[in-house]
Every structure is written in structure tokens, then in C-alpha cells.
Structure 1
């Protein structure tokens, strides 16, 4: 369990909070490129880390993420005109470029000296493989972009999508690094079928965890009994500050060739989160049906509406079917993302961790909390997270594999955990 004070530190992400300042030292996924696909198109509302912002793509294709309010009288820039390389407030015509610089004040005299001294808050942006990234920290210490393998794979070998989640970022992350719940939450009551991993999850429901510090965060390995003389290992990656990578389901003989998935759990504010889902297929192009399944609003991570809000949610009980719960589906809720959301959101917007009773299967969660609190406190003392400045640390993969029982998991999985090297430009 955590003290109430530590829980508040872990979950509060607004400006000036210890965890909020830690998040601001990293690049974060802000929105999908498809949301602002058109030059001079409509601006988009964006709320991140308790800050109200707007995003727009200017005439030259540059993406701006700026304060949601005009510097003049604080009118909302969402209603602004995106034109001629700037976002113009419709109240009095003041216009701001992607850097937040006021470039026109048509309601003021032409020789007004303050025109070029007025700015609004603006953040650095970058764009890779269909995702717009934002850096919300100090300009004197801009980190490297994280070198995720999916962010540099060719077209049709990667996907990215997102969905709204109505809870704090930390309880969402904790679901992503918890391998023990797979044997329950995502299980079926009918006879086990499909990939061999399903059989291992069903037959060994209390995995043994080994958690190791890593340059990028944590390596969380869950061990289950498999065939005689072997263990089945699921190796989940936690990457600072809010990323997880999900071990693939495969035949365990060429795990490095299997497509894999991951998440980014980006705080909107203290009580809501953007759950990003990405996938990487390092060895081959996705088939059409795989692209539809892994990406888009109606695929595996959906269904969501035009605003990326899930169609199954708290107000309709996530579509629970009690008859199916009795006969075939452990929860009666269809879809892994909806099952995860149901239990994580059922804890409340911010779970009271002082009331928990943790067990051996929660080792990864305990280490995650300790790490995040440690880094937030170190930053308060002036020590920035080293991981943020080395994008190569993010070039890792999750692993599912069978190993002889006498082979340590970090030795047996070392080669498979490395992503493909970045090609020189």
C-alpha cells in the first residue's frame, strides 16, 4: 500500500507537482496526425497534464500546440481561424503562429510596439509515423525523442490509435504491467484453445515475478510452469514515464519475428487518461485484415466514436452479458481493452492505495511506484531523469518464450529484447 501523501504525489500531474514536472521532462504522444490532417484545417482541443491547449496545422504543414486562450482577453482559440501560417482569434483578430508569437493585432494601431512582444504558451512538437509528439518541459533541456521501433518502421508495419480512459494514469499503467490478471480477467470458462500461452495462463494462475531495473525503466518477467523442464516467461517492458510493451502471442520459436503491441498512458488530468495503443511488425507487412484489427476506431482497441471515446463504458456497464459470463467469458465483457477499462475505472478516478492489500503477484506494481516516486523526488532536488536524454534506450521489445528451467530469464531473453538497430540517416 501507499500512504495518502505518496498516492497524491504519484497521481497528481498538474504544473508544479512533482510527478507533473517529471512527465514534462519527456516527449509524450499528443494526438494522431489524422486529427489535424489538413493544412489550415480546424484546430483541435487538447488537454494534457491538466493544461488546456489547442493544436493546429498551419499553412506550411507545421504543427502548433499552444495555449487554448488568446493573450488579449482570454477568448478560446478553438474557435479561431487557421489561416496564413497562424491561428487568428475571432474576437479581435489577434493571430499567433505555431511558436506562440503574436504576429498580427489588427484591432490595434499599426505601430503598436507590443505586437511582437506578446506571446502565448507554445510547446515543441515533432511528428513520426502518424503521431504528433509534444514536449512540455523547459526549453534549456529538450530531450531526445524516444526511439521506439514502431515509430520508424515502414508503412503497414506499424499502427497507432488511442481511446479515452476515465481514471488516473497510474492505475491504468499498473494494469499494463500486471501479468497475473491474464489468468482471470481475460480468460474464458470454456475449454482452453488457441495459442499455447492460453494453456499456460490457465494451468498456472499464480506466476512468479522477477523485476529488474533497466535503463529505460523496468523489466517485469512473469514465470509460469510449462512442459517438463521448462518455464513459460512473459517479459513486459515498462518504459519511463508511462509506456508498457505487451509480450506477443506466438509459437515461442521465433519470438523476435512476432508482431507486438504496447501502450502509452498519457495523463489528460488527474482523473482521465489517453490510452494509446501501438503495434510493430518488424519482420513483415501487415495484411489488410491485420491493419484493420490493430488500428482504427473499430479494431481490437475499439470500438470508439469520432472523439476516441469508447462505445462500451461505465454508463452502459461495458456491455456486460451475464449469460456469457456464466457459460464462456470470465467477465461477460467483450474485448480485452473493455475488460481492462471496466476494472481499472471501477476503482474510482483515483484509487485510494492506502486501502490496498498487496501480494507476491504485485511485485512489479510495487517497483513501478517506488521508481516513479524516486525519480519525481530526485527531480525536485535538481537531478533530471537520464533516460529522457537517450532515445536509444526505448529500442526494446517485449518477449514471450519457453526457457529451460536452469536458464535465467534475462540471459535467455537478452537477444530477443533488443529492437532492430536504427539505420543511419
Structure 2
């Protein structure tokens, strides 16, 4: 699908009532990690979503509020507020608000003043699941039920979640994630290994099937001997990808391979920045994640504790230092010379600029998933305009899917052989 500049604007802009921002407001989207507000009366946290500045806090009863970043009195920043006695109190004049935005107290006014009954602030509904605080920022009368992805049903012992910020528009981050062909190149971290599955066939064949949740897409790589390396992915609207992974891990003195599923949720912070929520979970409900598996997975991705600027979700490797590219390693060992799979993606995606001009592209056969995602997102802007429900927003639309990868014979129908492995087990 060739994108015009007008379509590119419609696809990428999310601030100030832009059509794509209105699309995201019709879904439940992550606002922050639950660990960012770890306990009752913990310090409030700044949140920026869809170009809107907010503050999150967990009150004395453990309920989470997501409210306007500024007090209704003189617009003082509530980030500096006192989180106390089931509300956040502005430190400028002491006005206090609960998790629903109601003004509870105006101590700078005379006792009994009724001003507080009309001094409430904006508050958004929240839902806590999977280690994430979710919110729905659209009209209440069109708000769907909270999400019910398979990984959200996995027990805490079976899953992990993390967060990373990226300095580019959400769409080029999504498109990097759902581009299966680039993994044969950008993520080739061993140039000496020409027998890896992705090196044996660097131009996979793609299929895309539209689904109630968005779409299922597959890549098939012919690896010789009549065999095919099949990967089946899920893209759930508006911005979630699920894929299969099998990583090595070390435990109890032995090395093993652990089957899991992982993915990303790309959330627009504003037009020019994106928050990525990374999740992984055990493929088998009867098998919890081995100890340290998620931490090892994050380290391989380039998202270990040492990879972040202290106290932030921003990577140390960034555009300002060219992602610490090592040209000698690039020449001799890895395709990019950049450490960390996640970091390699960020280098390419942010290197395109904050918002890439898609009207200048020349798409090929391996870009089928990308063009499908664009078409569906554009379709959703039309649905908002017509007041229609969003694709994939209802729990029953997305709660039965998972991803897989496998080896199969060239003459086997991939949809049939993968059917049982792409249906939820939890």
C-alpha cells in the first residue's frame, strides 16, 4: 500500500484530537508499569500519553488514580503533591483530589466552601493486569471491557514485563517490530554462522490473514531438505504483537532451552516519542518461568538494568552517541556492530527521524504485514468518524490467540499444522 503524505499525517499524529489519537482512545492501553506505583501512598509518577500530561498515584486503599497533571486551582504540578489519606494533595495551597478526580478539600478557602464541588480534575479509568496499569481515555459510552490477552491470564510466576522509551513516532516502532525479514540482517549477531535458520533463507514468504483481533501473519523460510522454518505471529489492534521464542538459559549447572511467547505493546507518548511495553510468558501453563529467565531474556535484548539511564526507561545507547556502534565488531562479528537486539532496532527506527516520510518508500513483498497494519489503522480512523466499534477492542476478539514457530515439510499447509499451537492454552 503506497502511503501519501496526507495518509502519513493521519497515521502518525496522536495529539490534540488527531484521528489516530482518537483511535487509541477507544482501546485500553498501558499507562505505566504497576511497579512504578508499588505500594499505597507511594510517590506520584509523571505519565504522558497521547500528548497529554497526567499523574498516577496509588492511594491509601491501594487504588490507582490517573489524573490531570495540574491542580484545578492555579495549575500547580501535582507531581510534587503529597499522596496521603486516600488522595493527592497539591503542595501549593493544599487542595486535595481522589483517584476519580473529585476535589475532596480546599483548605485555602473558608470552611464549608462549596467551591470543591466544581473544582474536580480530569481522571481516566484504570485497570491493573499483567503488571501493567491500563487506561481507556475515550468516551465512557464507547469504552470496551478491559483486555484479556492470554499473557494477562498467566500467573505471575509464568510471566514478566518491562518498559522502554524510544525517541520516535509509534508507527515506525510498530513497523520495525512486525517486519520479519529484517531479523536475517539487523539481528545477525554471528556472521560466522551461515547455518542459522534465518540465514538459510533471507527472503521469507509472507501470508496475512485478517482476524477479529487484527491479523495473523506468517513467514516461511525454506531451509533445505524439503523443510520450512515457519513463524506465525499475531498483531492485535491497535499496537500489540505476539511472537514465539525459544532461548537458552542456564540453571542448576545445566544448559537448557525454554519455550516461551513474547511481544510488545507500542504506546504513543506523543507524536514524537513511544513507550514500549515488553512482555514474555511461559508457553506451558504447567511450567513456570525458570528463575532469572526473564532477566536473561531482557539482557539479550539490550534491556538489562545496566542498559538504562539510572531511574529512567531511556537507554544509555542512544542517537546522541550513535548507539555506541563498534565498526570493528560490525566488520568482523555482527551485522550492525551494535550491542543488544532491542538497541539495534532503536538505532534504525530513530535514525529515520522522529516521523518518517512514508511517501518516499519503495515497499517489497516482505512488507505485507506492514502494509496491512497501515490499512487497518487508517480504517480505524474512519470507524471513529462513523461512531463504529474498534476492531479487536472486545476481549473475545483477542483472548484466544498466541504465536508459534516450528519446522514443517514444504508441502504441508501451514495454517493446518500450526492450528493447535496458535490457540490459547491458558
Shorter-normalised TM range? over 0.9
Equivalence map 1:335-346=2 (5 Å): 335-346=340-351
Q: 2:229 aligns with which of 229, 232, 237?
A: 232
- The answer for the alignment partner of 1:52 in structure 2 is 53
Give the distance between the partners of 1:391 and 1:338, measured in 2 at CA.
34
CA contact 1:153–1:282 (8 Å) conserved in 2: no
Query: Would you say 1:412 and 2:417 are equivalent positions?
Result: yes
Unaligned 5+ runs, structure 1: 252-256
Sort the Cα spacing of 1:392 and 1:267 in 2 relative to 1 into closer, same or farther, 3 A.
same
CA contact 1:325–1:331 (8 Å) conserved in 2: yes
Sort the Cα spacing of 1:288 and 1:162 in 2 relative to 1 into closer, same or farther, 3 A.
same
CA contact 2:98–2:104 (8 Å) conserved in 1: yes
CA contact 1:248–1:398 (8 Å) conserved in 2: no
Give the distance between the partners of 2:36 and 2:193, measured in 1 at CA.
40
Query: Would you say 1:301 and 2:298 are equivalent positions?
Result: no
Sort the Cα spacing of 1:140 and 1:201 in 2 relative to 1 into closer, same or farther, 3 A.
same
**After TM superposition, what 4+ stretches of structure 1 lie above 4 angstroms from structure 2?**
297-300
- The answer for the alignment partner of 2:371 in structure 1 is 366
Give the distance between the partners of 2:391 and 2:314, measured in 1 at CA.
35
Give the distance between the partners of 2:319 and 2:247, measured in 1 at CA.
33
Give the distance between the partners of 1:184 and 1:304, measured in 2 at CA.
25
Say what the alpha-carbon RMSD is for the aligned residues.
1.8
Deviation of 1:14 (Å): 1.8
Secondary structure of the equivalent of 1:109? coil
Deviation of 1:84 (Å): 0.9
CA contact 1:239–1:394 (8 Å) conserved in 2: no
Query: Would you say 1:165 and 2:166 are equivalent positions?
Result: yes
- The answer for the alignment partner of 1:219 in structure 2 is 216
Query: Would you say 1:287 and 2:284 are equivalent positions?
Result: no
Query: Would you say 1:8 and 2:9 are equivalent positions?
Result: yes
Query: Would you say 1:380 and 2:385 are equivalent positions?
Result: yes
Deviation of 1:392 (Å): 5.3
Secondary structure of the equivalent of 1:258? strand
User: What do residues 224-280 of structure 1 show as CA deviations (whole Å, max 9, x unaligned)?
Assistant: 1024233211112111111111232379xxxxx821110000110011000111001
- The answer for the alignment partner of 1:254 in structure 2 is none
Sort the Cα spacing of 1:12 and 1:192 in 2 relative to 1 into closer, same or farther, 3 A.
same
Give the distance between the partners of 1:99 and 1:170, measured in 2 at CA.
31
Sort the Cα spacing of 1:361 and 1:395 in 2 relative to 1 into closer, same or farther, 3 A.
same
Give the distance between the partners of 2:315 and 2:409, measured in 1 at CA.
42
Would you say how many aligned residue pairs link Structure 1 and Structure 2?
411
Query: Would you say 1:203 and 2:215 are equivalent positions?
Result: no
Deviation of 1:153 (Å): 1.4
Deviation of 1:406 (Å): 2.6
CA contact 1:177–1:220 (8 Å) conserved in 2: no
Secondary structure of the equivalent of 2:31? strand
Sort the Cα spacing of 1:236 and 1:41 in 2 relative to 1 into closer, same or farther, 3 A.
same
Deviation of 1:141 (Å): 2.4
CA contact 1:156–1:291 (8 Å) conserved in 2: no
CA contact 2:93–2:107 (8 Å) conserved in 1: yes
Secondary structure of the equivalent of 1:114? helix
Secondary structure of the equivalent of 2:163? strand
Give the distance between the partners of 2:277 and 2:341, measured in 1 at CA.
14
Secondary structure of the equivalent of 2:393? helix
Sort the Cα spacing of 1:400 and 1:14 in 2 relative to 1 into closer, same or farther, 3 A.
same
- The answer for the alignment partner of 1:114 in structure 2 is 115
Please identify, of 369-378 and 225-234, the stretch whose mean Cα deviation from structure 2 is larger: 225-234
Give the distance between the partners of 1:355 and 1:282, measured in 2 at CA.
40
- The answer for the alignment partner of 2:335 in structure 1 is 330
Sort the Cα spacing of 1:259 and 1:187 in 2 relative to 1 into closer, same or farther, 3 A.
same
Give the distance between the partners of 1:356 and 1:344, measured in 2 at CA.
14
Give the distance between the partners of 1:262 and 1:291, measured in 2 at CA.
13
User: What do residues 91-147 of structure 1 show as CA deviations (whole Å, max 9, x unaligned)?
Assistant: 111110000000101111223223122211100011123211111111122212221
Give the distance between the partners of 1:361 and 1:240, measured in 2 at CA.
20
Give the distance between the partners of 1:391 and 1:343, measured in 2 at CA.
35
- TM-score (normalised: structure 2): 0.92
Unaligned 5+ runs, structure 2: 249-257
CA contact 1:243–1:265 (8 Å) conserved in 2: yes
Secondary structure of the equivalent of 1:265? strand
Deviation of 1:170 (Å): 0.5
